[in-house]
Amino acid sequence: MSEISIGVTCIVLSLILIQSGMHIGVAMMLLSFLGVWAIKSFAVAGKLLASSVTTSIASDDFGVIPLFVIMGLFVSVTGMGRDTFDVAAQLTRALRGGLGIATVAANAVFAACTGTSIASASIFTKVAVPEMVRHGHSKTFAVGVVTGSSVLGMLIPPSLLMIVFGVLANTSIGDLFTAGILPGILLSVFFSLCIFTLSYLKPDFVFTKMNTKVEIHLDTPLVLFKKMAPISLLVTIVLGGIYGGFFTPTEAGGAGALAAFIIGVARREISLRIFWEVAIEAGKVTAAICFLLMAAQLYSQMLTLSGLPYAVGQWLQSAQLSFVAVLIGYLVVVLIMGCFLDSLSIMLILLPFVLPVIAAFGTDLVWFGLITIVAIEIGLLTPPLGMSAFVVKANLNDPEVSTWQIFKGTLPMTFTMTVFLVIVVLFPQISLVLLGRSWTWW
């Protein structure tokens, strides 16, 4: 078997093993080790394995992972998500489909503190779905809005997917965070317009009874301020610190984690038991991500030794495929893989041999990272895997709502996000304007 055949075999087997249920890190590290062994020798495979463990996460920059994880967990265990939704609901109460728009707005704000789509889906399933159903919205629409808008957690900084992409592509995490602001806001607007339009064009899909305006308890301006102040302060500390030049992303993670802890204690929502649970969960998440990064480095080295990235590059050069053809092919593959694999799996499997090919065209990797994340996040909304849909199903605890019903409710949001992906691909300036850079591929 040739070296290139070994590389291809390892990729195919990794897809099979991950889909069969094996942990992605275990699958990739095992196959990478066996691949290097087959290409070189057992001794070389052992040395590369040891090197990936000792050097892949040795930089201080990786401290950003546990710090943002801890901050997100502190925010999740407090009532900040519920308060954010309450404020958004009161501000949008006069709009048709206002509670759906409020859910999107609350998700956008909440995303600036959590960094994951899963946390947003978990919180707002419990907070927003009951309120929307109580005010005459259909269950299908309610779960669809929560599932769809949860993807904002990975696009609006800080984002764990941005951190992983920055590590794999050797790209500035701070630049990725900055570039994600405008697309994140724009996607929130697109989602809101989608909901507003649906409430007029498909009212039977949105409402179970035609009470299009929501009657909710109105808080005084002072109460609204008190509800919104904690999460606003947290967002200001983290994002304001990064973009104001006061913090590096790692330092901002530490400041955010400390601020979230102090806010939780001040609100009397963090006890010693909760603090211990957060610490244990943060350790588990961090260990899992670091193990994935170790596996990714060994996987990348195996592919390099196999010569597969070089062969792909040579084939593209000889075939004289344009950048557009390569980009479309890549995005189609990502969207298809999103139907079967989780976000990190797609990123870790594809990027090691796609990045050299894309970089050869002179592509701006920050823009490429953002469109990759958007395409991957569409996979969270598509069957049969649709991770966000299953998270909503697990937290809903309602036997009347099936997983396929959640996918049905999410369909308008999936379509909206696909349109948004096309726009961001066609206009790179949306991603790069805040960086003061100008680049285009057409």
Q: What is the 3-state secondary structure (H, E, C) of the chain?
A: CCHHHHHHHHHHHHHHHHHHCCCHHHHHHHHHHHHHHHHCCHHHHHHHHHHHHHHCCCCHHHHHHHHHHHHHHHHHHCCHHHHHHHHHHHHCCCCCCHHHHHHHHHHHHHHHHHCCHHHHHHHHHHHHHHHHHHCCECHHHHHHHHHHHCCHHHHCCCCHHHHHHHHHHCCCHHHHHHHCHHHHHHHHHHHHHHHHHHHHHCHHHHECCCCCCCCCCCCCHHHHHHHHHHHHHHHHHHHHHHHCCCCCHHHHHHHHHHHHHHHHHHCCCCCHHHHHHHHHHHHHHHHHHHHHHHHHHHHHHHHHHHCHHHHHHHHHHHHCCCHHHHHHHHHHHHHHHHCCCCHHHHHHHHHHHHHHHHHCCCCCHHHHHHHHHHHHHHHHHCCCCCHHHHHHHHHHCCCCCCHHHHHHHHHHHHHHHHHHHHHHHHCCHHHHHHHCCCCCCC
Rounded to an integer, the average pLDDT of 37-53 is: 87
Rounded to an integer, the average pLDDT of 266-280 is: 89
Reply yes or no on whether the pLDDT at 74 is more than 70: yes
Reply yes or no on whether the pLDDT at 420 is more than 90: yes
Greater model confidence, 235 or 113: 235
Q: What are the tens digits of pLDDT across the range 241-251?
A: 877 778 887 88
Rounded to an integer, the average pLDDT of 324-343 is: 85
Alpha-carbon Rg for the chain, nearest whole angstrom, is 22
Let me know if residue 240 belongs to a domain: yes
Let me know if residue 77 belongs to a domain: yes
Burial label, 1 (beta-carbon count in 10 A; 0-12, 13-18, 19+): exposed
pLDDT at 317: 65
Reply yes or no on whether the pLDDT at 319 is more than 80: no
Burial label, 3 (beta-carbon count in 10 A; 0-12, 13-18, 19+): middle
- Contact assessment for residue 240 and residue 165, using Cβ atoms and an 8 Å cutoff: no
Residue 386, SS3 per DSSP: coil
Q: What are the tens digits of pLDDT across the range 131-145?
A: 788 778 888 998 999
Query: Residue 217's pLDDT band (boundaries 50, 70, 90)?
Result: low
Query: Residue 188's pLDDT band (boundaries 50, 70, 90)?
Result: very high
Q: Give percent above pLDDT 70 in the chain.
A: 96
Amino acid identity, residue 214? V
Let me know if residue 38 belongs to a domain: yes
Structure tokens, 384: 């049969």
Let me know if residue 273 belongs to a domain: yes
Let me know if residue 441 belongs to a domain: no
Q: Which residues contact 383 (CB under 8 A, 6 or more apart)?
A: 339, 389, 403, 404, 407
Query: Residue 216's pLDDT band (boundaries 50, 70, 90)?
Result: low
> Lowest-confidence range among 67-76, 343-352, 381-390, 407-416?
381-390
Residue 240: how many other CB atoms lie within 10 Å: 13
Rounded to an integer, the average pLDDT of 399-404 is: 83
Let me know if residue 49 belongs to a domain: yes
pLDDT at 213: 54
Rounded to an integer, the average pLDDT of 252-257 is: 86
Rounded to an integer, the average pLDDT of 398-417 is: 88
Amino acid identity, residue 5? S
Reply yes or no on whether the pLDDT at 77 is more than 90: no
Let me know if residue 442 belongs to a domain: no
Let me know if residue 421 belongs to a domain: yes
Reply yes or no on whether the pLDDT at 30 is more than 60: yes
pLDDT at 423: 95
Which residues constitute the domain of residue 326?
3-435
Q: Mean pLDDT in the chain?
A: 84
pLDDT at 214: 53
The structural domain count of the chain equals 1
Using the 8-state DSSP alphabet, how is residue 137 labeled? B
> Lowest-confidence range among 153-157, 222-226, 313-317?
313-317
pLDDT at 421: 95
Residue 95: how many other CB atoms lie within 10 Å: 18
Rounded to an integer, the average pLDDT of 146-150 is: 88
Reply yes or no on whether the pLDDT at 187 is more than 60: yes
Greater model confidence, 52 or 56: 52
pLDDT at 210: 56
